[in-house]
Amino acid sequence: MRRPATGPAATATGMIGFPMSWPTVVARSRRSWRLLLVVLATVTAVACGDDAPTPVAPTPIPPTVQPFALQCPADVLGQSTSGAPVSIQVPAATATGGVLPVTVSCSPAGAPFPVGSTRVTCGATDARGSTASCSFNVNVAPPPLGRTTFLAFGDSMTAGEVTVPVGTALGLDGFPNFRQIVVPAESYPTKLVTLMRARYFTQAAQFVVTNAGLPREWAADGASRLPGVLTSTNPQVLLLLAGANDIEAVPTSTGVSTGLNGLLTMVRTARQRGVAVFVGTLPPVRPGGRLSLPVALVQTFNDGIRAGAAREGAVVVDLHAAMAANVTTLIGIDGLHPTEAGYQRMAETFFTAIRTTYEGR
């Protein structure tokens, strides 16, 4: 008789002949019984009319979409060699996030850009219809200005004197009582340098416009003061406006002659030093003001400027013609001094003459 198997681990043979330990056999038997019980329970439930449990599919997680945004390039700088518009290739804006495909467009793009600053606006749309936008500037510099240091010389209309009403009671002339205040920030030289720096932005740091206006000064006295100011400031260009106080003090042809002589003396003094000269005509008067000059004398004085300044090689800046159509807005209630808007118009008129003479030269 064969002896039973002995040893530390008796084994059994499975269906395909592989030996299994008794613990493994027991574990598998238990799992088989549990499976059988589950099957029987399910069959019983179906037989009794109970619904079998329906498997629940997991909720799908939508893909993450990054926020849709559009990034514009930095401002673009160009240069015009003639003052005419120039064609500039506008860099592309960059879209991020959203759902592809994405369309991006900018306007204006590639067209000739004029001198100055042009705003370019870009827009983008993705496949969902989401939109994004951004903008940047195309800055086109003009040909450089050939002169950068200026001396503005004259009387109160150069200093920036404005008329300020005091109270509401009207005087005999029908205007409120007033007083004169020098406001340098409103003067035409201050406004002029602002215009220069805005247009010629690549030269902005080079521009100097010295305001040497002295209220109540006659042109004859200005002729004595000018040489010292020229020496101390050493300008390339003199901007000259004087003569109103000469006419106010002597409202006759004598006052006109005195003013013209002093003015033309200043032109010659500057020209002899190699300084270019721009001479402004007297602005128009506002009739009825307490300081209004006789219209006929102003016209005679300005005619003398146009003839004499041209003869001396100076550029005439016709302030009178530039302001005559809107006297009530550009001249204050005193009848003589420009308003803040009037000083702006003066600056623009001088600026146009300077640009015409020196841009690109």
The mean of the pLDDT values for the chain is 87
Tell me what pLDDT residue 50 has. 53
Q: What tokens does 88 get? A: 């500039």
For the stretch 130-182, pLDDT in tens is 999 999 999 999 999 999 999 999 999 999 999 887 767 766 666 677 888 99
Cα 99–chain centre separation: 35
Ramachandran class of 335: left when φ > 0, alpha when ψ lies in -120 to 50, beta otherwise: left
Tell me what pLDDT residue 60 has. 73
Tell me what pLDDT residue 205 has. 96
Burial group, residue 356, by CB count within 10 angstroms (0-12, 13-18, 19+): exposed
112-113 and 86-87 as β-strands: parallel, antiparallel, unpaired? Answer: antiparallel
pLDDT-based confidence at residue 211 (cuts at 50, 70, 90): very high
CATH 2.60.40.10 fits 69-141, yes or no: yes
The closest of 207, 339, 192, 186 to 280, measured between CA atoms, is: 192
116-125 and 131-141 as β-strands: parallel, antiparallel, unpaired? Answer: antiparallel
Q: Do domains 69-141 and 149-358 have the same CATH topology?
A: no
Per-domain residue ranges of the chain: 69-141, 149-358
For the stretch 280-333, pLDDT in tens is 999 999 998 889 999 999 999 999 999 999 899 999 999 999 999 999 999 998
Tell me what pLDDT residue 171 has. 67
Tell me what pLDDT residue 164 has. 84
192-200 average pLDDT score: 95
CATH 2.60.40.420 fits 149-358, yes or no: no
For the stretch 215-244, pLDDT in tens is 999 999 999 999 999 999 999 999 999 999
Give residue for tokens 């997680």.
61
